[in-house]
Amino acid sequence: MTLPKVAGCDISLTSTGLAFSSGWCGTAGRAGITSLPIETRTKAIREQADTLLTHLATADLVLIEKFVLARGRAGAGGAGERAYLYYLVVDALIHQIGVPVAEVPQASLKIYATGRGNAPKDEVKDAVAKRLPMYETKGNDDMCDAAVLAAMGADHLGHPLAVMPKTHRRALDSVRWPQAVAA
């Protein structure tokens, strides 16, 4: 029996987190994209999308942290560029490559990792280190989020990567799973 290959993706311009249910994780990105001239900026974002798609195209299912415009917060810089990257990747996966994609709200990711939807980043990192030690995240927030996403997808498909309490697994019910993927 071949296990499904599930990928988690936490989109970022400088450090997109990628993880696979096999235990591999890493990052891809480029600093300074938002300060490039527009013609160079759009090309750099398309190149980053191509890099991400090279990894994600081999998956049977991709879980991606849902894009949210961070209004009034320090992370709002580059929101337009991040949205462009997000939709380039999602559109190509679904419509060109044919890989099912599930968007996961940040609170659901945190619930699956910690049992609480408002858990701070350090708590998510600690939960990944404890429950998903097969991922070498080096404490990187983006890789930790991607690892949780990959674990959620594997759990949904009936191949959990760790024993998760019911209080954590309830996060699976808040995800709109693609029709092409059966639990």
pLDDT tens for 144-169 read 999 999 999 999 999 999 999 999 99
DSSP string, 14-31: TTEEEEETTS-EEEE--T
> Under a CB-based contact definition with an 8 Å cutoff, are residues 48 and 85 in contact?
yes
pLDDT tens for 47-75 read 999 999 999 999 999 999 999 876 555 55
Strand-by-strand arrangement of the 101-104 sheet? 25-28, 16-20, 6-10, 61-65, 101-104
| The token pair that represents 178 in the structure block | 């693609």
| The token pair that represents 27 in the structure block | 């990052």
Domain 6-174, CATH class in plain words: alpha beta
C-alpha closest to that of 81 among 150, 123, 19, 29: 29
- Distances in Å between the alpha carbon of 64 and those of 35, 115, 135? 26, 19, 17
Domain residue spans in the chain?
6-174
What's the whole-model pTM score? Answer: 0.94
